[in-house]
């Protein structure tokens, strides 16, 4: 079995394990990305086969589309007063449970949903574990009118910003909120809380992909010999 297929299976198994944490009657934040997608699929299966009843709060248009296809009932923020559990992936996870998210350009709503949840459960495969954040470029959602001014300020902070371009389309990626995404490569991120706050204070920035002090538990799919095991970091 090649590495790509092993990673897919790790994502699938950790997504399923996270969905098994959901209890009947919960309001669940539905994350964005390949690992969270497996959790949404499992929630759909549990609803069809086990009679599980939940309400889902999607973190992106793509998560909402998949959830509807699975038959899950969805709510928006103005229809609920709490989120019991949020299940979401990450692009990087450090030993302190700090994250980089936003590879799918959904980090602004993800941070709102994940931060509002009573419990934020992160689902990743072992390839996402790092000693220090920064190998993955940091996504920053920016108002289009401010993109070049923000790029200049991010450069002064030591980053190398690039406008994320669309695939199979000309021009930049447009977020669900109608904004641009800058992918900023930093040589290292020694102080994630400080950088998160500094970037978010730049005029024109809506949100960045540093998730600091939000994750309650990390579920990790890990290859152990020829089998895949799920471990928990709390």
DSSP string, the chain: --HHHHHHHHHHHHHHHHHTT--TT-EEEE--SHHHHHHHHHHHHHHHHH----EEEESSHHHHHHHHHTT-EE--GGG-S-EEEEEE--SEE-TTS-EE--TTS-HHHHHHHHHHEEEEEEEEEGGGB-SSTTSSPEEEEE-GGGHHHHHHHHHHTT-EEEEPBPSSSSSB---TTS-EEEEEE-S--S-HHHHHHHHHTSTTEEEESEE-S--SEEEEEEEETTEEEEEEE-
Distance CA 210, CA 193 (A): 8
Longest CA–CA separation in the chain, Å: 54
Flag whether the pTM goes above 0.85: yes
Return the pLDDT at 213: 95
pLDDT at 86: 98
Query: Alpha carbon 158 to chain centroid distance?
Result: 24
Q: What is the pLDDT of residue 217?
A: 98
| Structural domains in the chain, sorted by start | 3-130+213-233 (3.40.50.1360), 138-209 (3.30.70.260)
| pLDDT value of residue 7 | 87
How much is the pLDDT for 168? 83
Question: Would you state the pLDDT for residue 6?
Answer: 85
Helices 3-19, 34-50: axis angle to 10 degrees equals 50
Q: Which of 92, 110, 196, 207 is catalytic?
A: 110
Answer whether 133's CB lies under 8 Å from 187's CB: no
| φ/ψ of residue 167, rounded to 5 | -105, 130
50 is catalytic: no
* Residues of the chain where predicted confidence (pLDDT) is lower than 50: none
Could you tell me if 22 and 46 are in contact, meaning their C-beta atoms sit under 8 angstroms apart? yes
pLDDT at 1: 64
pLDDT at residue 224 in the model: 81
């Amino acid at each position: 079995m090649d590495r790509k297929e092993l990673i897919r299976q790790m994502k699938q198994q950790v997504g399923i394990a996270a969905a098994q944490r959901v209890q009947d009657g919960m309001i669940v934040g539905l994350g964005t990305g390949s690992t969270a997608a497996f959790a949404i699929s499992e929630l759909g299966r549990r609803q069809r086969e086990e009679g599980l009843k939940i309400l889902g709060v999607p973190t992106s248009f793509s998560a909402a589309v998949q959830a509807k296809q699975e038959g899950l009932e969805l709510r928006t923020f103005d229809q609920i007063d709490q989120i019991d559990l949020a299940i979401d992936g990450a692009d990087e996870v450090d030993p302190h449970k700090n994250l980089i998210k936003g590879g799918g350009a959904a980090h602004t709503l993800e941070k709102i949903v994940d931060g509002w949840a009573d419990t934020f459960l992160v689902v990743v495969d072992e390839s996402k574990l790092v000693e220090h954040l920064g190998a993955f470029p940091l996504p920053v959602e920016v108002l289009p009118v401010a993109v070049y001014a923000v790029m200049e300020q991010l450069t002064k902070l030591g980053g190398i910003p690039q406008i994320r371009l669309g695939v199979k389309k000309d021009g930049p990626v447009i977020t669900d909120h109608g904004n641009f995404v800058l992918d900023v490569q930093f040589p290292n991120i020694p102080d994630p809380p400080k950088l998160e706050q500094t970037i978010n204070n730049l005029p024109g920035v809506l949100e960045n992909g540093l998730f600091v002090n939000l994750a309650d538990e990390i579920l990790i799919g890990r290859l152990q010999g020829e089998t895949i095991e799920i471990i928990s970091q709390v």
